[in-house]
Every structure is written in structure tokens, then in C-alpha cells.
Structure 1
């Protein structure tokens, strides 16, 4: 009845401890909770969402989740209320063995943006493991001749719990012959000996049966028992004795086979065969110990037999018996405690998780790329791990907790410069020599639309002959965008504007994908000398980026206009008294073309002849169209002179027009002055014409020289600049258009002499005055 009440009281105390011992604290960058092992499913651990500063409404959208090494189902979070609770059975001994500290390390990961929190849940021990003996019974053989206070080693019990729950007390069942002596060695483990209180008599009792009870310090207390069967032997007076009852040996792990551990020495006071000693492993020695060590029965040398691994076992206890060779042998006992020393034989282990790839090139500094956790099975400095990165990468490692790192962005990224990085993470322990492990992470840089399409030059100049076919390809524009995919897909369009009374799109068009520019209709040099407009290039990014280029299209003249005669000078009255060199009429003509195509010359097709086949009395100026007398008129000349004047330009092929001039020869008293110019006499006319020709020749030479220099300069600029695309593509920069004549003087349309705004349509001229040769440069 009392025992039942104690159990109920212990259960209530256990439940109360589960509720009261669940605490938390924030420190060293983590949240700390504690929970007792064997807690029931659903046991409250802590308000993890509140303690981490997270809102309950954002747990599900931000993909709140737990991550931990090993088993992940021990603890769980209720996403509705943010409470961390026990999900399945927690066994501290299964998790941490007999380690004094036992914690569950959790990583709380939330996305959008990525955040990592470290949570440590301490698992507190309860007294759930009873002391346990490795054997159900232990057999001892004792000679009846053994004196009082003789001692015999016993195998103690073990308890998987820690602290007070593992502090064992031993009790021996009552006996008049035997008592129990418990001593603690330097490793704080119990050394048990059965003490003979008084000599036994084999003839009286051949076998004694005792019960050894081990009790731990938990609440409630748990016990374990083993039966001791003692057989009384009738032999030998003196048992072998060792120098020490306990030998402590330190041995490096990975010691090669055959390494000497210790050489034992026991002595026996007897003589003869009773003094000869054999060294044996006690029947208390477990099989795993026998697999690691061997003993020489004659010399007492203990040597390494198998592989010693500090991470597998740190300490071995070896019970040795020294038995003499008498018919009734006596046995001496000792214990060899072998401590294994750690070597740096385990390389660090590295786990890279939660990779946020690819990384946007406009990601802010401090963006978390990956999580790195490190571990090393060694201990001490051999298990202390540092982490480093390859140099010259825009990333760095940030320590978030012990052996936990975050790979974060340290400097700005530019995909157009470096599209990806190979990041090598090196983990190195503190051993001597140190061991290291490496892991590679390919970090791809994702493109953002941060580059606008760019043309090779801000202006392009092309030359197109007038009267082109509709739809003719003028040139091809190309813009380069260093971005990728949609951000680099460029489309072209016209920047719409008005050209005179018409829209620009009625003259030209641009293909949206290829950038090819086409003339939609024939261009007329006489209407439009220069068509200047802008083409826009836009990428397909969000938002789109773009740039413009200016295209200058010079329309080159062709000889498509014949000379046009101006009214006036068709009929004139000429006095017969005129001498040679007098101007009697003038043929006026203009040509809507430019340059050589507008340079006109005149000649008589049917000169009037005098009576008797003499030379005709009239001639026409080659470039002036002035009709003058070649000699003095006389009575033999017909009274009506019909002159047919051919007007011809210098185009290829040349176009012509004809003018008919009717002259009436009258007496001097009846005719007005034939010319507004004062008569100079026959002698003065050739001199005036000669002066004019000299001026014309000098002007033509000057214009021709300047034309040659201009063409040389234009060719040099074309060779120095990158070649243009498309038909008739010009060099970069502002073009120079040169109109000149190689011989004689020429006429150029008034349209060419006027400075016009690019792309502006101007009306045809109404008057075309003759002029000497000239040079004009459009800038």
C-alpha cells in the first residue's frame, strides 16, 4: 500500500516537472528550451513563433519549417498557434548515450525572405533506466584456506542515466562469511570487492549463494540484482599477488597491432609448481574487449589485437587473473584501465543545405545564398572546425551558431561580367597536422533588365539615289543588349514625326526584329534632299529599356529632269546696223536637278546662213544662252531669221530641250535697242568674252581642286570608321555632300543653294539664275 502511494506521488511529481521545467532563453544567437525525456506526445515545449518574433499569420506563407540532424519527428510546430510540442518519444540515452549534455539542435527556416534561426532543446534526464549487470550470475571460486579479509573483485552494474540518476549504491544480502567493499577509482567508477569476513569451511558448506543489489539515486529509485555463486575449493595456501590492484594505461587510438599496452607482474609466496603463474583474462572481461587486446599467459604482456577507435570507445576495463599451477590453484586479481587518446583521424564533415539559386544580379548585400553545417567526430582541438572560402568571390561566410555558417552576398553582382561563380568551401580542423574537407557550390547569377540596347554609334548616315523602287532596303541597324533571354530580345521602331505635311512612316519603315530600314516610296531629290529621323530600340524586359539612333538619309540626285525653258526672248527686232558681238536675244532655261545634272549648255542646231553661203550672222553663248552677232549685218541677210537653240544638261545620259528664236532684221530707225547692254564695238566683244572665259577656267580649277581634297578626306573618314550595314551605308559622323564641276561653269538649282532643315520638303524653285561653278558642303 505504501509502495503504491509512493508511485502515485512520483507520477504527479514527474508530470509537474514536465510543465515547470519547460523554459526558454535567448542567448548567443539562439532560443533555448528544455524538456524531459519520455515526455508524452503533445507536451508543450515553447511558444517558438512568439519567441522568434514571427507573426502567426506569416508561418504558412513563409514556409515555416524545422530542420535537424538525425531524427526529425521528435518535435513539431503547430502552425496555427506557433507552439513547439513533443511529437514522438524522446529517449535521451538513445540520442546522447551517457553524455552529460544532451540537446536537440533545430534549424528554423522561413522563406521570403530567407531567415534561419537556431533552436536548442535540452533533453533532461529522468530515472527511466534501472541499474543493469552484464551477467545474471557471477561465479567465484575460493579456497577454504583463504584468510579473513581476502578480497575478490566483482563486476559492477551500469546505469544508462546520468547524474544522480546514475549514482549507484550497492548492497549485499546478509552473510556471516562475506561483506562488500565499494571503492571509487580516479575515473569515478566503482570498484567492487567481495571481502571474506572469516575463513570458510568446505566440509561445512561447499557453495554460498548471495544476492548483490545495485540501487541508483533517482526518484523513485530503481534497482538491479545479480546472483553471486561462491564455490569453496580445498587447495593452496598463498594466491598470486599483483603489484597494484588497478593499473591505468593511456594509449593512442589507431595504435598498430602488437603494440604493448602493459606488462603485468604477479608473485606467489609458494614454492615449486604452486609458484608458477599463468595470466588470463577474467571471466568478467567482455567479448568486445577480448577482440581488441590479447594477453601472453606466460609473460603477462597485454598487446593491441584489433583497431582502437576513440570515437567508438574511449575507455576499456580489463580484469586479469593470475593463477598458479597447483592442483588446487589460487588466483590473484587486478584491473587494467586503458584510456584511449584521441588522434586527428577524422576529416571534417560538411553539409550544404537550403540553396537559394540562382541569385538575382541585383540582390542586396547580405542575401543568404546557402546554409552550411560542419561537424568533426574528433574531440578537443581535433574537433574544432573553421570554415573559409576561395578568394576573389563576391561572397562571405557568416557564423550563425557553433559550426553553423551562412553563405551571404558580400559585394554587388553583374551577370554581364561574370555569369556564374564556383565557390569552394573549405572546412579545416584544429588538429596537428590539420585535416580538411572541401565542397563546391556553383552559384548562377540570374539576369535582370539592367542594360538598355545600345547602338554602335549615335548617328548613321546613308546615301540613296532618288527614284528608288518602293520597298527598297536602305540599311540595317543593329543594337546590342548584353542582358540575357527576354531582357536581350531587341525590337526596333520608328520615332514618329512629321516630314512636311506627311508622316515619317509614309516614307520609311523599320522591321521590328531585324532592324532593316526600307523606303516605302520613291524618293525625289528635288523634294527631299535629306531625311533625318530616329529609330528606337527596346528590349523585352520588365520594365523595358531602350535607346535611339539618328539616321540621316541623303537622297542623291539623278538626271531625271530635262531643261525647262523660261518664257521671253522668243521674238526680237534686230537693227541691221549692228556690228559684231552685240547681244540681240537670250534663251533662258533651268533644270530642277542638281550638280552636273543641272549644268546647262546651249548650241545652235540650225544657224541662219547668209546669202552666198557665208558664215551665219548669229551665235549663242555656250553657257549663257545669249544670242549675239558674229559679224556686221548687211542687206544680204534674210529679214527674218529663225534660230533653233538646243539646251542640254550634263547628266548621264544628257537630257535636252529646244528653243525657237525668231529675229526680225529691221532698219536702224525702226528698231529699239537690241540689248540693254551698251555696245562695245567689234574689237571690245572678243576681249570681254576672253576675260569671262579666263574667270570661268580659274573658278573651275579651284572647284575641281577642292572637290578632289573633299573626296580624299571623305574616303579617309570612311576607312577609319567601322563599315556601315546595309546598302549604301555611310560612315559615322556628319556627312559632307560635294557638288562640283570638272570643266567650265555650271548652273546649280536654287534648291541646292538654299540651306534646308533635315527631312523638310521644299517647293520647286520658280526662278533659276545662272551662276558660276560653286562648291557646297552640307553639315
Structure 2
């Protein structure tokens, strides 16, 4: 008695599984923005595959679509080929919906009665992307940066970021700067603005446009962002010059006895680069002299008439992480 009950429990699910037929599956695609009545590419359902005669032995066979979004397509029979095809009923937008999972029903007359419709197949339709969106920047249309003129070379001074509502290659971006300039470089893959050359002594600000361009076809380009970078010269102001409400800072040109200037310099800075200028001083006619360290051991030189501090040999942060200089400034008039 016990064995017969166990055997019945084991065999019944297996028998039920064998009687259940797996529905054939078909897959196709259509590009977004295709006009209404565009055929779904790659999707053709042979009538013999769905065993139509089993469900509808008489003539007058009709197909019907079911599922979320089925109203966006219509099914029709290609009588010459004996296939069932799909066409769109409206213009599709991939950003709104990228795929459809639908069921194909079959009936013998007009499918007016739901009870006589048999599900004979399932289909998936992918909505493929077209390059219909241009990149847009997250930031405003203008960016203004005030940059210390002693900023280390290869420093990232700003990062621009754009987005594209498309997908795949249509959403991959490259950043471009116009016009080219020798002081700043925009990294094409990241949009980072890199300082590549000294901005010491620049008489005016640097201005350029940055655009984002996608990799679609045809490529689309964003509206430009205007980037303005103004070099700023700052140094600690001596206590006797600090006025109320000025924050205790003054331009580096107002050097006085005992004033200290801190500089950040990249070890990759090339020999001959001017890293800062001490002139003009408070004297109308000044002479500059490097007092410490001695010129033979110093990696920099000081211009006697200009006050420019220039790199004279390669810098190595591991062996010489910082360097302290003492410069004497004299009035040529002897006052």
C-alpha cells in the first residue's frame, strides 16, 4: 500500500510534464524612429512551426498578439511564403521602451471570442538605438576659473562632463577644445582640463570652447562650453601692509624684506621653464641675486634683472622633495 502511493506521487508530475508542449520562440528587432508599418526585421514565424493545422483545420486562420505593448504591432500572414510577420503600428522610441515580450494567438475565424484563441508562439522584439540625441553638458554654458600661476604642471584644474541619452557607440563621447592653446589640454576621453605649460607672466586670461562629440553615425556634437582661466599671482602680505577687510593677501609683485613665497612645481617641469617671477619689486630698478643655496648646487637660477626663477637642471622629488631659496633684492640706484 505504501509503495503504490509513493510510486504514484513520483510518476504523476513526470507524466504531466511530458504532455505540456513548449511554445516555439522567435526573436526580431526594429530601429527606433522607423515609420509606422515598418517590418520587424529578423522575425518570421513559419506556419508549419506552430502546427497551425492542429489548432485550425479549416480555412480562415487569423493571428492575434497578446501582452503588454501588443497594440504597438500587428501580425499578418505572408501567404506566398507561409509565414507570419510583424509590422509596427506607430513610431517607437527606444528611450521609452527597449524591448517587447509578446504572445502569438491563433483562431479560425475573427478572434472575436477569446475562448477560441490558442497561444501558439512567443516573440521578443528589440527596439534598436539610432543616434537621435546630441550630447549635453551637466555644467553651465560658461566656466570661469581663477588659477594660481604656481600650480604644478599636469594638474587637473577642472573636469567637464557630458551625457548622451543614446546607447552603445551612440553614447560614447570624445571631448574637443577649440581653439588649441599651449597652456591647457582637454583629455579626449575624460573631459579633464590639464595644465601642460607654465602660465607665469601671461598678460591676459585664456579662453577656449569645449565640445562633446558622440561616436554614432552621423556623429552629433554638443553645444560648446566656454572655459575662461585667469592666472592669479598671490603671496603672503606682510603684516604692516595688511589692511582691514583685505584678507592679509596681496599680489606677489609687492615683495618686501622677509616676504615668503611658496611654490608647487612638478618634477616633470622641463629645464629652462620659468616657475615664477619675483619682479617687479617695490624698487623701480632692482637687481636680484641668489644668496642660498650657491648657484653651483642649486637646481634653479635667478635672473639678475628680471627676477625670473628658472629651472636649470632636472628636478627629482624623491631625492629633493623641497628646496628653500634666499634671494637678495637691491635697488640699482643705491637708495
What is the TM-score when the length of structure 1 is the normalising length? 0.25
User: Taking structure 1 as reference, are residues 174 and 340 closer, same or farther at Cα in structure 2, changes over 3 Å only?
Assistant: farther
Shift of 1:247: 2.5
Is 1:275 the counterpart of 2:112? The answer is no
Displacement of 1:448 after TM fit? 2.9
**1:196-215 to 2 correspondences below 5 Å:** none
- Out of 404, 424, 445, the position equivalent to 2:230 is 445
Residue 325 (structure 1) aligns with: 109
Distance change (3 Å), C-alpha of 1:176 and 1:416? closer
Call closer, same or farther: CA 1:269–1:443 in 2, change over 3 Å: closer
Partner of 1:293: 73
Given that 1:323 and 1:330 are in contact with CA atoms closer than 8 Å, whether structure 2 keeps it comes out as yes
Which string of whole-angstrom CA distances, capped at 9 and with x for unpartnered residues, describes residues 562-603 of structure 1? xxxxxxxxxxxxxxxxxxxxxxxxxxxxxxxxxxxxxxxxxx
1:416 deviates by 5.7
Structure 2 counterpart of 1:358, from 143, 146, 149: 146
Show CA shifts across 1:355-385 (max 9, x none).
7821234444233321223443433332322
**Distance in 1 of aligned mates of 2:117 and 2:209:** 66
CA contact (8 A) 2:137 2:160 kept: yes
d(CA) in 2 for partners of 1:350 and 1:421?
A: 21
The partner residue of 1:433 within 208, 218, 224 is 218
- Aligned partner of 2:199 among 410, 413, 416: 413
The whole-number CA distance in structure 2 between the counterparts of 1:250 and 1:297 is: 18
Q: Which residue of 2 aligns with 1:337?
A: 124
Q: Secondary structure at the residue paired with 1:382? A: helix
The 8 Å contact of residues 347 and 376 in structure 1, kept in 2 or not, is answered as yes
- Taking a change above 3 Å as real, the CA distance of residues 179 and 348 of structure 1, as seen in their structure-2 partners, is farther
In 2, the alpha carbon distance for the partners of 1:304 and 1:415 equals 65
SS in 1 for 2:34: coil
- Corresponding residue number in structure 1 for 2:240: none
- Separation of aligned partners in 2, 1:380 and 1:301: 28
Residue 259, structure 1, aligned to residue 43, structure 2: no
Instruction: Give the Cα separation in 2 of the matches to 1:339 and 1:323.
Output: 26
Q: How many residues align?
A: 224
> 2:91 & 2:201 partners in 1: Cα distance?
53
Q: Which residue number corresponds to residue 184 of structure 2?
A: 395
The answer on whether the counterparts of 2:60 and 2:109 sit within 8 Å (CA) in structure 1 is: yes
* Kept after mapping to 1: 8 A contact 2:131/2:166: yes
TM-score by length of 2: 0.52
Q: Which has the higher contact order (CA 8 A, sep 6+)?
A: 2
Question: CA offsets per residue over residues 620-669 of structure 1, 9 Å max, x none?
Answer: xxxxxxxxxxxxxxxxxxxxxxxxxxxxxxxxxxxxxxxxxxxxxxxxxx
- Per-residue deviation at 1:253? 2.3
Structure 1 segment 183-582 matched on structure 2, within 5 A: 194-195=20-21, 245-261=24-40, 266=47, 269=53, 274-282=58-66, 285-286=67-68, 289-295=69-75, 301-325=85-109, 329=116, 331=118, 333-352=120-139, 357-393=145-181, 394-398=183-187, 404-413=190-199, 417=203, 419-448=204-233, 544-547=281-284
Q: Secondary structure at the match of 1:404?
A: coil
Over aligned residues, Cα RMSD in angstroms? Answer: 4.5
Deviation at 1:291, TM superposition (A): 4.5
Q: Which has the larger radius of gyration?
A: 1
Partner SS, residue 192 of structure 2: strand
- The alignment partner of 1:259 has SS state of coil
| 3-state secondary structure, aligned to 2:58 | helix
